[in-house]
A and B are shown apart, each in its own frame.
Chain A
């Protein structure tokens, strides 16, 4: 954590309607969205932004340990894409998972408590920042091995097809994952079996400090990766939540409708037919992260000006502008939403702080669903627990 970041964390940035004026406009073709939906998405993005600021602060105060990857800058990706799902459409992602979980409806209290390692966390304090799980909200985890969740996304989609449900899986990963074998194997399986999964590339241009152009072949034409597997490809502006929403809505609908008639695997979809509504889709979402890769990243690999230029396109400010310009919300209302988001983040920290410490017996739970044999009393052989057999 550098000094500059520390200052940023504590500074009180506000979302002003004028802040980004004359910079970039949100995609107005999407304005058929209801005003309620737009405001819901704004609140959700603000919730993530304020939550992440508190997360950084708590990390500096050493309340949070381990690796911690901040989502600031990418809020529109989670909010726009998840906003286009049904609540029981499974989502699965990488370690940069706070935003996904919150956008999906996880209570920020349980998210913060997880990072504080408390029993009240969304995974009982056993997962941490990189491993958020929430069964109730169909969040199948943050997964910290780069690319490792791609086959899981295909597996969830396989199960949906197997059970003849009409859900669609959103499987998220960063641009670093594109070069992993698991990514390619999952693409191939999803394609040959026409699985209802959207592979979502949160393309923030960097895998840690390596720019995508240095690490990925054909970085400027990722469509080729989809084409290689006969898969549908789409892209959208990840700094524009309305563009993300409409693009995902379109592609999710196509996937949902495509999978159904072809329950029986082995029917290879007709890729050549123009606009064929086949199941899986590779979605390239161009986004940007303002913060370092993780809390320990001093960001020597990119210029301050680059980050600042991207901040001009801030997805929250752009939506704020849109709402004000179109008389959907007033600056006062925006301020109120922001105040609520700040209060909620603060309450989450308080909850996490005040939650009881982990009972040490928890060390030995959740290893097996059905432990039996001599392992019954915990994960270790009784010998190692100091208990005698007789």
Chain B
């Protein structure tokens, strides 16, 4: 596998797509001359010019809505929110306009726009900058929600998102941008023992990861862990831990919350008979709640115990580092959940 950083994967995805389709443009705060607040779009303005890499003023309602209008006309905007936490001021445009246009116009006007940016806590930024948006947006019909967890997925899913005819919310994580860099905690380490799914890296420009297809990041027989995004890594850490105790978990990365590949989840639970759902949004009415509910509806007779959810704690994200880490889902909490549902605690 190529050793490519998560942020490079995002950049490559945008570059490759922009080279073949002039309708695609990137707009956001500091994306051009500053090279991106997190350097995701580094060098892109040199390659594509100011027509296509557009520095916008700090006005989320304005540029998110501009993206919707441009998409209705036929362009393919990529709108970068510096952080998804700032999308609340643009909520009208991204909840009321983007996903509903196709329906309200009786199929006449779609909105093929990608909204992307950093999501979730983990950098001691305090509660205004640490919001995890998935539970709010996954309930909106008309939106697609992509939550990539590895550099390979990040690239394949962003290319899929850009090619998609519908509005896609693409949730990255500031804490994952450096993932895959040499010496870093790299996804490839999970290949070490050979029996975990090898994510071979295609160089082909047409490498896309289709939405709605979950990825079994680690097969196992004893308990299903369902998750996506950054917590996939916590789940894999937990799996390593649990393996030492003889518990062989299956880690399912659902990759997209909408569409949700409930089929893969259900098939796994029917095999393992136990299920833990992990997501980094708040527990009340979370994505994990929805997935657990759907699994109950389908697998009631297959389950040998209740489903346990592992979420962020039900608090605004604190600044304090220890507290912040304690609030997040982590490997310890996931391992405990698995032990508890499988009666191994």
Which of A's residues lie within 8 Å of B, judged by CB?
90, 92, 121-127, 131, 133-135, 140-141, 143, 145, 148, 150-160, 162-163, 181-182, 185-186, 188-189, 192, 263-266, 365-375, 379, 381-383, 389
Contacts and interface: CB of A to CB of B under 8 A. Distances in A.
Given A159-B74, A189-B59, A189-B63, A148 B97 contact: yes
A159 B73 contact: yes
Given A156-B70, A163-B75, A185-B59, 12 more contacts: A122-B106, A126-B106, A127-B104, A135-B105, A151-B64, A159-B70, A182-B62, A265-B51, A370-B164, A373-B212, A374-B259, A375-B259
A156 B106 contact: no
Interface in B35-90: 49-51, 54, 56-57, 59, 61-75, 89
Contacts of A365: 107
A256 B141 CA distance: 38
A311 B42 CA distance: 61
**Which interface residue of B69, B141, B210 has the most chain A CB atoms within 10 A?**
B69
A151 B66 contact: yes
14 contacts: A126-B105, A126-B106, A135-B108, A141-B104, A145-B92, A148-B65, A151-B69, A155-B68, A186-B66, A188-B62, A366-B106, A369-B102, A370-B166, A374-B259
Contacts of A373: 210-213, 256, 259-261
Contacts of A150: 65
B102 A155 contact: no
A374 B108 contact: no
B259 A155 contact: no
Interface of B: 25, 49-51, 54, 56-57, 59, 61-75, 89, 92-93, 96-97, 101-110, 112, 141-142, 144, 164-166, 210-213, 256, 258-263, 266, 294, 297-298
A155 B73 contact: yes
B263 A389 contact: yes
Nearest to B259: A373
A152 B298 contact: no
Contact of A135 (B50, B68, B109, B164): B109
Given A181-B61, A265-B51, A366 B103 contact: yes
A140 B68 contact: no
A134 B50 CA distance: 32
Nearest to A136: B108
Contacts of B67: 155
Contacts of A152: 65-66, 68-69, 72, 97
A389 B106 contact: no
A156 to B, nearest CB: 5
Contact of B109 (A133, A154, A265, A389): A133
A140 B96 contact: no
Contact of A383 (B89, B210, B294): B294
A124 B106 contact: yes
Contacts of B56: 189
B30 to A, nearest CB: 15
A140 B263 contact: no
8 nearest CB pairs, A to B = A373-B212, A155-B69, A151-B65, A185-B62, A124-B106, A373-B259, A369-B165, A133-B105
B170 to A, nearest CB: 16
A156 B72 contact: yes
B104 A131 contact: yes
A368 B145 CA distance: 13
Given A155-B69, A265-B51, A389-B298, A124 B107 contact: yes
Contacts of A121: 106
**Which interface residue of A185, A264, A371, A389 has the most chain B CB atoms within 10 A?**
A185
Contacts of B108: 123, 133-135
Contact of A189 (B57, B68, B144, B213): B57
B119 to A, nearest CB: 21
A372 B65 CA distance: 26
Given A372-B259, A373-B211, A373-B259, A366 B107 contact: yes
Contacts of B109: 133, 135, 140-141
Contacts of A189: 56-57, 59, 62-63, 66
Contacts of B165: 368-370
Contacts of B212: 372-375
A369 B261 contact: no
Contact of B62 (A131, A135, A186): A186
Contacts of B66: 151-152, 154-155, 158, 186, 189
A92 B38 CA distance: 35
Nearest to B32: A266
B214 to A, nearest CB: 9
Contacts of B298: 383, 389
A387 to B, nearest CB: 11
Contacts of B266: 389
Contacts of A160: 73
B69 A140 contact: yes
